[in-house]
Each structure stands twice: as structure tokens, then as C-alpha cells.
Amino acid sequence: MSTTTPLLAQLTETAIRARRAARILTVSSTEQKNAAITAIAEKLRKNTPRLLEANEQDIAAAKARGLSTAMIDRLRLTPERMEAMAGGAMQVARLPDPVGVVLERWTRPNGLEIIKKSVPIGVIGIIYESRPNVTCDAAVLCLKAGNATILRGGSEAFHSNTAIADTLEEALAEAGLPGAVSFVPTTDREAIPLLCSLDKYIDVMIPRGGHGLISTVVEHARMPVIKHYNGICHVFVERNANLKMAEEIIVNAKCQRPGVCNAMETLLVDAPVAAAFVPQIAARLKKEGVEIRTDAETRKAYPELASPNNADWDMEYLDLIMNLRVVEGVDAAIEHIEQHGSHHSDSIITEDKAVAEKFLNAVDSAAVYWNASTRFTDGSEFGFGAEIGIGTGKLHARGPMGLRELTTYKYQIVGTGQVRK
């Protein structure tokens, strides 16, 4: 008796279709892929009214569920964001093709020529939450790198994601690449472990979202997983910092867009400058609407930190809430980040080069900054174009994951009749 469920059968059919499309994409020219991406951008612009209407359904549901302002901002589409989505697609079309690049070439003493060349990964499964622009960004990046994509978005953006995916599929069918992007049209949580079981067809899984989602994917995946864990990002104000610079960096890192993974969640202040700087930064942040959480001992020393809520050093708030801790020197800051960070992005503010270099070398994160905001950990800001996410692991991809990280490589060996002796 078969134990195949209707959902598993549907997902398997989707994965088989994606595998067929991946074989076509492997040999597609740069011109073909760029034409398909251009068709996507044009279709997004044409369908903007319909996409915004679908997004309004998700916004209304999010408000009814009581989601935070920051989370609703992550979810919201506007005409400007739709144009940015289409423009981002065109930016990817203009980027160099990462496929077919000769990475190394050498000739052995026996005359064998060995060529190490970049190739597509194949079929990439992407499971993500919240931001509907990920549907387009992920699909376009994977397409340019010659990969077929299976997308499974979060329930909070289901209507938006479905409408965007329909638009992508329409454009790709017209461009002669049907099946290059597939969307899982269900909010059933069982779809995640089922997708993770399809290692015969899916080459790698990329989860983007909260700790629970990523843990589920890691637990069930039979294929490799490129993890994009949460962003518990730190800024450390060292005793030799320019405090005015520090203030501006902190406000940017926390307030510019608090609902994203590269926003600061914990501020560390070096003890020798705490008496001068903590009241200064607390007043500025409160004007920006930020709730500052700390421990009871620090609240006694700095009563202007009036929040009754204790800091949770391991929490990614994704909101106008942050932690503050006074530490004794750079070693204590590094130790705090080692214990509570997520290996995403951390920054030191100091005028002392030796201290800065110690921090840059010792902090084990994908992106480590000196006198700059953590908000720059982004594919566009790094010059990669749109990104698939921020890798916080150590293998294959780390930091902003752009086109190059969506390829692997193979060796092509050219001989003249050589046999091994």
C-alpha cells in the first residue's frame, strides 16, 4: 500500500519539473537568461496594480493578527518597492554571468589539461518568511546563475508571494524557460519536511527566516543546507571612540530599518566612556522611539534606562527594541559576542587601530566592521547586486550570498590519449 500523500506527490511533481528545467538552464546562454530576466521585470511593472492588491490582503491579515509595525513594514509592497524589485531584476541582468568562468587551468607533466570551471548548482529550494520581494530576488538570482528554483514562502505573505510567483511563471513561459521557477502554493507546514526529503531532485536548501524555520530545515533536509540564521548584531563603542560618530552609527544600525537581519540588536559600551556616553545615546534613541533593555545592575547605574524589561542577549527583536550592556574593554566585548552573537554582523567604533584590528580578527562573524554601521551587510551594498540572503555558516557561502555563491564548479580534463600507469 502506497504511503505517498497528495502533498508529497504534488511536491515531487514540482521537483521533477524543476530538475528538467535545470538541465535546460545549464546550457542556456547568457543572452537567453538575460532575456528571461528582462521579461520578468517588464511583467512585474505591468502587473503592479494586481500585485499591490494581493499585498493589501496580507497587510490586512497582519494587522488583524497584531504583528509589529516593523514586521508589517517587512511585508508591505508599495509602487516604489515594486519598481525597486523590477529594477533589481534588471540590475542582475546587467551583472556578469557567473557560469562558465574558468577559475583555474593547468597542464600536468603527462600532457593532461585540467580546467576548473564554474557551473550551476542545479535545483535550489528556498524556504523563507515575511518579505515578498524575496520571491523575485531569489528567483532572478538563481536564474542568472543557471539554477531552477523551488520557492516556499511564509503564510503571512501568501497572497503577495503567490501573485509574484504567477507573474514570474508567466514571464518565463513566454521566454521559453517554463519550470525554471516554481512556487509551493500552500501554507501547510508539512510542505517543509516533505520538500527536505526530495534530495533526488533538489541539490541544496536555503532557509531564510527565524530560528524555528531554519532548525526545522536543518533537522529534515537530506541535501546540503546553506543556513541564514538570525541576525543578533552588535555595535561596540570602545573607549577611544569618536562618540559623535558612534551615536550616528548606532542610530542608523538600529533605527533605519529595525525589522531586517543586519539591524543592531545589542549595544556594548566600554566602561571608561559609559558615564558620558550612555545618557547621551539613551536620550537620542528614546527620541527615535527605541526601548532600551539591560540588566538590573546597569539600570541602577544609569536610571535613564527606564525599561522594566530585562535584556535578552540571545534575542533578535526585529523591532525598535534593543539591549545595552557596559563591558570592560575589547576582550569582554569579544567574549560577549562569542557567547550571544549569531555570526552575522558586528561592529567596533574606535580610533585605536590596534584595538580595531584585534576586534576584526577575533570576532567570528561573516561581516565585521570598523567605524561603520552593520546595515551595510547586504548584497547590493557589497556590489553583488541583489542577494539570496546572508550566510552565517562557514562552508560554501558566508555573508551576502550573490551570484558567484549560487554556482559550484567542476573539472574538465582534456587529453590526447593518456592512460594511467
The 3-state secondary structure of 264-305 reads EEEEEEEHHHHHHHHHHHHHHHHHCCCEEEECHHHHHHCCCC
Residue 249 C-alpha cell reads as 552609527
Could you tell me the pTM of the whole model? 0.82
Q: What number is the average pLDDT over the span 409-415?
A: 97
Helix, coil or strand: residue 335? helix
Q: What phi and psi, each to the nearest 5 degrees, are found at residue 345?
A: -145, 130
Task: Say what the pLDDT of residue 3 is.
Answer: 57
The candidate with the shortest Cα–Cα distance to 190, out of 402, 9, 398, is: 9
The candidate with the shortest Cα–Cα distance to 12, out of 200, 152, 180, is: 200
Dihedral sign of CA atoms 30, 31, 32, 36 in order: positive
Q: Is the pLDDT of residue 65 over 60?
A: yes
Nearest 5°: the CA angle 123, 217, 166 is 50
pLDDT tier at 386 (50, 70, 90 boundaries)? low
Task: Say what the pLDDT of residue 210 is.
Answer: 76
Q: Is the pLDDT of residue 53 over 60?
A: yes
Residue 382 C-alpha cell reads as 557589497
pLDDT tier at 1 (50, 70, 90 boundaries)? very low
Q: What is the pLDDT of residues 221-277, one digit of tens each?
A: 999 998 877 899 999 999 999 999 999 999 999 999 998 899 999 999 999 999 999
Q: Domains plus CATH for the chain?
A: 6-228+401-414 (3.40.605.10), 233-376 (3.40.309.10)
Q: What phi and psi, each to the nearest 5 degrees, are found at residue 120?
A: -65, 155
Q: What number is the average pLDDT over the span 3-23?
A: 92
- Rounded Cα–Cα distance for residues 371 and 241 (Å): 9
Q: Is the pLDDT of residue 2 over 70?
A: no
Task: Say what the pLDDT of residue 290 is.
Answer: 96
The candidate with the shortest Cα–Cα distance to 127, out of 172, 191, 44, is: 191
Q: What number is the average pLDDT over the span 28-54?
A: 97
pLDDT tier at 168 (50, 70, 90 boundaries)? very high
pLDDT exceeding 70 applies to what percent of the chain? 99
Q: Is the pLDDT of residue 184 over 70?
A: yes
Q: What is the pLDDT of residues 365-383, one digit of tens each?
A: 999 999 999 999 988 788 8
- Rounded Cα–Cα distance for residues 137 and 95 (Å): 14
Q: Is the pLDDT of residue 24 over 60?
A: yes
Cα 221 to chain centroid, rounded: 19
pLDDT exceeding 90 applies to what percent of the chain? 80
- Rounded Cα–Cα distance for residues 72 and 284 (Å): 25
Write the CA distances from 215 to 164, 200, 258, 314, 418, integer angstroms: 27, 21, 23, 16, 49
Task: Say what the pLDDT of residue 112 is.
Answer: 97
Q: Is the pLDDT of residue 151 over 50?
A: yes
- Rounded Cα–Cα distance for residues 60 and 62 (Å): 5
Q: Which residues pair with 294 in a beta bridge?
A: 310
